Amino acid sequence: MRILIIEDDAMLADGLARSLRQSGYAVDWVESAERALLAVEHEMFDLVILDVGLPGIDGFELLRRLRRHEHYVPVIVVTARDAVADRVRGLDLGADDYLVKPFAFDELEARVRALLRRGHTHTTPQVSLGTLTLDLVARQARAGEGEIEFTAREWAIIELLVTQSGVALSKERIIQSLSSWDEKLSHNAIEVYISRLRAKLEPSGVRIRTVRGYGYMLETQRGTGTDDH
């Protein structure tokens, strides 16, 4: 999943970006509303973390412009403004969540996970496919009684496939969700990750099917269709 941080405090933004990347997210950062508008217009993000106290155009005005132009990416507002009137204003302008500084990173990440789940098919933290069980909070996978170990990048791909259940995801869509400006994945890299995931998922009775002309999707072995390996 790809996250955009809009924050003019470089130290705070760097700390948030590092922590989120360690959790397997692709993260980009801009320090102004003007740059954020350009980024959202030309790139695809799964979630935005927005500071209110930005130089020039503030976060509330940025949020208003995003919603006016029908950019419905989930937004978590983070700010030192704790007045009820500010919370109401942010939510009325279209924020999906509102977090007051200072905050614990664990709480922010929990809110990130909740919003990402809400924006996709599955809203519960546990998902089951065949004998495969995924805990989207603990980031653990089990097949029957055995645990499956995924790398952070592999987990990001399997989570994307699970939350987009029933939809064939193209390589480009996966790249957009997993790449940041500093680290762009290639089509060949996606193929390598998919191959590794297929090998790890095989004992669970779940496979990643290639839908010709569309992309990849998860299905149980009892599913039908032509598989392109």
Q: 224 Cβ partners below 8 Å, 6+ apart?
A: none
The low-confidence residues of the chain, meaning pLDDT below 70, are: 119-124, 165, 221-229
What's the CATH number where 35 sits? 3.40.50.2300
Residue 205 near residue 220 (C-beta atoms within 8 A): yes
For residue 33, what pLDDT is reported?
A: 95
List Cα–Cα distances, 176 to 97, 186, 191, 196, in angstroms: 24, 10, 15, 20
For residue 24, what pLDDT is reported?
A: 82
d(CA 33, CA 151): 34
68-116 per-position pLDDT tens digit: 988 889 999 999 998 999 999 999 999 999 999 989 999 999 999 888 8
73 and 139 together in one domain: no
pTM of the model: 0.71
Its domain, for residue 190, covers 126-220
For residue 83, what pLDDT is reported?
A: 92
What's the CATH number where 208 sits? 1.10.10.10
For residue 227, what pLDDT is reported?
A: 43
Instruction: Write down which residue in 68, 88, 118 finishes a domain.
Output: 118
Give Rg (Cα) of the chain: 19
The number of domains in the chain is 2
For residue 86, what pLDDT is reported?
A: 93
106 and 25 together in one domain: yes
d(CA 148, CA 198): 12
153 in a structural domain: yes
- DSSP at 206: E
Instruction: Write down which residue in 89, 118, 147 finishes a domain.
Output: 118
Residue 142 near residue 132 (C-beta atoms within 8 A): yes
227 in a structural domain: no
- DSSP at 180: B
